[in-house]
Structure 1
Amino acid sequence: MSVHKTFAVANAEYIKSFNQRNFQELPLPATSHRMLVSTLLSIWGYEGEAHVIRNAGGKASDALRSLIISQHLFETWEIAIFHYTGCGMLRFTDDGFQAQLKEKYLEHVKDIEVIDFLAFSDVDADVKKDVGFLKKRPLLADNSKITGWVYEVETGKVHQVD
């Protein structure tokens, strides 16, 4: 059975004990981890059973190298992309952030201009974009199961978006 098919059941158990707090304005920088996948989905029975790759915004393009290694060396054939509501990547634009960096690092303007910081404004749409990106990568295994999910920090719920 695909692991992603267990997510809804495990998440329903998590929600029963979810301590609802005010997540409307999560602080930046983060004061703690926003999402503990192992807790909200119960995806492993022991440490190391799942390969969790974390990066700013949960971006698939940043994780591609690690995913290829994980699949071909460790045989992890199922990929679940997770983003979450309240993510810091929703709070800025690439242009705005580049302008901020340019003011601070005048001597590195050219370096800053070539970086795509991958900010986004719609969590569900960005998950779909990342799933589509991975499905088109030729070095990922043909038998990969790739799904996309959003964790709602306000409720503790997850929903599939692909």
Structure 2
Amino acid sequence: MTNFSQFEFRNLPGFDQNTFDGFDKAIPMKTLVIYCFDPRAAEIPKAVADHLGDEVYPGENITDENGVRIGHTRTLFALSNGGGRALQSLQSIATMDYLFHYQNVVIVHHSFCGMTSYTPELLIEKFHTHHHTDISGLWDHEDMAIEDYEKTIKHDVDLLDHSPLVPKHLNLYGFFYEINSGELTEVVRVPASERSAS
């Protein structure tokens, strides 16, 4: 069996996980964008970076004199999953706050997403028919499909707003992206100042 432990930060000489305070100096992350892994929607992170105006995306690697990658100039990270849903992103949101102390989480749903091709009830039925498994109680029906873009975007931002895994210092945004025109429309915004007060 191959031992890859030499590539773990915990095992580097001088690294102390008890005093570690993030990778902010190496990668100045400010924003996490959650969007669908549909390849037709691949331009979403760049569209969000341009919309916010003060982001670097895609950025470039920073290397030392030996060519070792020691950082990156990117300030916006992209996280994709089916439909760009918030529920599947909670663990990453919590971890990234520990690693990078970032400021914004952006949810983006796009036009003609595959998750609009069915209802939660149909997905439950088809899964039962094909796999003989009942998934009806595994998660809320609102998280299983996109039945109304505006409602789903607001649902996802609300889910983040009320989750203990999403620190209160984060600004939350929800956008709709039209894949043919490239138009990005803001649907909802919850500033950190309003989250802290609630």
Task: Report if TM-score (shorter chain) is over 0.5.
Answer: yes
* 1:94 counterpart = 2:120: yes
* 2:107–2:173 contact (8 Å) kept in structure 1: yes
Q: 1:124 maps to what in 2?
A: 150
The partner residue of 2:107 within 78, 81, 98 is: 81
The partner residue of 2:56 within 29, 44, 66 is: 44
Q: 1:114 maps to what in 2?
A: 137
Q: Equivalences for 1:1-16 in 2 at 5 Å?
A: none
Q: 1:154 to 1:143 in 2, by over 3 A?
A: same
Aligned-residue CA RMSD in angstroms?
Answer: 2.2
TM-score (norm 1): 0.71
Give the drift of 1:97.
Answer: 1.5
Structure 1: state its 5+ residue gaps: 5-29
Distance (whole Å) between structure 2 residues aligned to residue 115 and residue 77 of structure 1: 31
Distance (whole Å) between structure 1 residues aligned to residue 87 and residue 128 of structure 2: 24
The partner residue of 1:140 within 166, 182, 187 is: 166
Distance (whole Å) between structure 1 residues aligned to residue 159 and residue 48 of structure 2: 24
Aligned identity (percent) is 22
Greater relative CO (CA pairs within 8 A, separation 6+): 1
* 1:149–1:159 contact (8 Å) kept in structure 2: yes
TM-score (norm 2): 0.59
* 2:107–2:175 contact (8 Å) kept in structure 1: yes
* 1:77–1:141 contact (8 Å) kept in structure 2: no
Distance (whole Å) between structure 2 residues aligned to residue 115 and residue 139 of structure 1: 19
Q: Which amino acid aligns with 1:91?
A: S
Q: 2:180 maps to what in 1?
A: 154
Q: 1:82-136 CA deviation, whole Å, 9 max, x = no partner? A: 1111111111012112211222223xx24x3333461121112111111111111
* 2:107–2:156 contact (8 Å) kept in structure 1: yes
Distance (whole Å) between structure 1 residues aligned to residue 129 and residue 165 of structure 2: 39
Between the two proteins, the alignment pairs up a number of residues equal to: 131
Give the drift of 1:77.
Answer: 1.8
Q: 1:59 to 1:41 in 2, by over 3 A?
A: closer
Give the drift of 1:40.
Answer: 2.6
Structure 2: state its 5+ residue gaps: 1-29, 32-37, 50-54, 61-73, 189-198
Instruction: Judging by fraction of residues, say which structure has more strand.
Output: 2
Tell me the secondary structure at the aligned position of residue 54 of structure 1: strand
Tell me the secondary structure at the aligned position of residue 76 of structure 2: coil
Larger radius of gyration: 2
Q: Which amino acid aligns with 1:39?
A: K
